């Protein structure tokens, strides 16, 4: 029987690290879904159906969390007892704050000008910087074990993800 106290890494038989083999994660997820999918329990009691639904829901949540670098970073911090303090800790380097301001201004100007090329270029820059932050997080978690630095990087990554969503929304609005 499955143990609801397992963390998401244990659930899929993975080592609790930032670097995750996404193919292995997906395979473990599919195997788990095959074992707990509610359709397999349709002929059983209501209690067993509810339990399978809980497991399927937990497997879905675990998969989504571990698949996303931002969510995985947040989850690892949580497992280690570190609060990234998104709402209260906004202290970031002056360089990153200046870059944020420049990105926000560029996004606003591109929206106002309905400039798809500028939005596409900004999106590429954000994806490039996001990739660099994900690599940095892997080193901070898995090599250095520097949770304070990892929390700072997770906060930066959260900002970039939000900005990427805003750019995508602006591009979608231009297509409408």
Retrieve residue 50's tokens: 């509810």
Instruction: Please choose, from the candidates 36, 81, 71, the residue with its C-alpha nearest in 3D space to the C-alpha of residue 56.
Output: 36
> Mind listing the pLDDT tens digit of every residue in the chain (176 residues)?
567 789 999 999 999 999 999 999 999 999 998 888 777 777 788 888 888 888 889 999 999 999 999 999 999 999 999 987 766 666 677 888 898 899 999 999 999 999 999 999 999 999 999 999 999 999 999 999 999 999 999 999 999 999 999 999 999 999 88
Q: In 10 A of CB 130, how many CB atoms?
A: 18
Taking the domain 94-175, which CATH number applies?
Answer: 1.20.1280.20
Q: In 10 A of CB 36, how many CB atoms?
A: 19
In CATH terms, is domain 8-67 a member of 3.30.428.10? no
Tokens 């002929």 belong to: 43
Instruction: Please choose, from the candidates 37, 31, 32, the residue with its C-alpha nearest in 3D space to the C-alpha of residue 53.
Output: 37
**CA–CA separation, 123 vs 84, rounded Å?**
25
Backbone angles phi, psi at 44, to 5 degrees: -95, -175
Residues of the chain with CATH 1.20.1280.20: 94-175
* pTM of the full structure: 0.87
Instruction: Please choose, from the candidates 121, 112, 135, 122, the residue with its C-alpha nearest in 3D space to the C-alpha of residue 18.
Output: 135
Residues of the chain with CATH 1.10.287.110: 8-67
């Amino acid at each position: 029987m499955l143990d609801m106290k397992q963390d998401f890494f244990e659930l899929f038989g993975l080592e609790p690290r930032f670097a995750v083999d996404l193919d292995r994660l997906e395979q473990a997820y599919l195997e788990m879904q095959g074992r707990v999918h509610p359709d397999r329990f349709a002929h059983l009691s209501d209690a067993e159906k509810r339990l399978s639904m809980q497991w399927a829901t937990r497997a879905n949540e675990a998969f989504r969390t571990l698949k996303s670098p931002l969510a995985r970073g947040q989850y690892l911090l949580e497992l280690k007892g570190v609060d990234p303090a998104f709402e209260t800790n906004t202290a970031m380097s002056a360089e990153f704050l200046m870059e944020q301001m420049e990105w926000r201004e560029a996004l606003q100007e591109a929206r106002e000008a309905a400039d798809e090329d500028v939005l596409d270029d900004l999106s590429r820059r954000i994806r490039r910087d996001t990739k660099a932050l994900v690599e940095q997080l892997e080193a901070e978690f898995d090599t250095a074990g520097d949770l304070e630095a990892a929390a700072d990087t997770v906060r930066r990554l959260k900002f970039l993800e939000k900005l990427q969503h805003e750019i995508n929304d602006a591009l979608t609005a231009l297509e409408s």
